[in-house]
Structure 1
Amino acid sequence: MSPRMSADERREQVIEAAVAEFAHGGYEGTSTAAIARRVGVSQPYLFRLFPTKHALFLAAVDRCFAVLTERLREAAGGRTGQPAIDAMITAYRDVLYDDPTILRLQLQIYAAALGDEEIRRVGHARFAALWKRLGDLSGEDPDEIMRFVAMGMLTNVLRAFDVPFDRDRRITGAGLAEWAREAARE
């Protein structure tokens, strides 16, 4: 018989399951029953760990931002300036390709924030912290951080719509213009 899990260990499992379920179904379309089933616990036990579905969604929001921040921190690896930005660009693309759950959850967070003030407030705070961390990691000025974030948002759209681009090369306006001309002919 395997040893019992602590509440903290089970809580981590529940958050991971919530990330996967909310990424797939969004806040409104995900049931706590599905999250509990994924973990193999009862709904009453899940509600002892998280008092509401809303609290669980906010924990998933925190996890999404924490994963992104950590991946970008690791990628920067003590570099600064453009080398740090380039490493973080690569890391972010890798996240989008290697774990589409993170992109799906980001998109679900944006959608949920439109109709929920607390989700919007938490997302606002986490996005501000991420923005600040990007500047701290790279040492770059706010305009360069804005370009980095804007390119990340563009990459989200390209990935979500399966627009073909080489994940190992910079996305260029000329490349997207060529794609758009070709796609418009279809």
Structure 2
Amino acid sequence: MSPIRLVILALFFALTLAACSTAPPEGVRPVNAFDLNRYLGQWYEIARLDHSFERGMSDVNATYQLQEDGSVKVINRGYDTQRQAWKEAIGRALFIGDRSTASLKVSFFGPFYGGYHVIALDLQNYRWSLVAGPDRDYLWILARDKTLPAELREQLVSQAKALGFATDKLIWVEQKRAGTD
């Protein structure tokens, strides 16, 4: 292979890896005093910013399971309204640093990881969370139940808006189909 092709290939891989950021967005801080064992289990997606991998999905939920090696198995499931079929993706999450800081990296595609940062959490009961990705294009409101009280939804949206997220573009996820439990 020619030296020029090697340089181009190296640049391609460097740019690809740089695109897979795991750090939280600038100015956004993950929750401290995080207890993974309390976070494990099933969460329902209440709202999200739109992305191709979830576009047209309703009844989305995520299940987190601790693995023997200390990693977390992530099972994302949702109903594709266009195809009228359930879809599932299985990934792996690892803490980026201290396990008491809610900052993880998640991969659904081999060696490529993206950030998963819990930026607000019901620390008393672990009933709801606000999750950001590696930049302000990724945001989820999750809950243990299929709905959240309006006052709490508004509080989380206000908090996300103050952090610079485009909350006017949130998609409110329907949770009506059986089979998401």
| Structure holding more helix per residue | 1
Q: Say yes or no: TM over 0.5.
A: no
Higher strand share: 2
Which structure has more RCO (C-alpha within 8 Å, separation ≥ 6)?
2
Instruction: Determine which structure has more spread, i.e. the larger CA radius of gyration.
Output: 1
* TM-score (norm. length: structure 1): 0.23
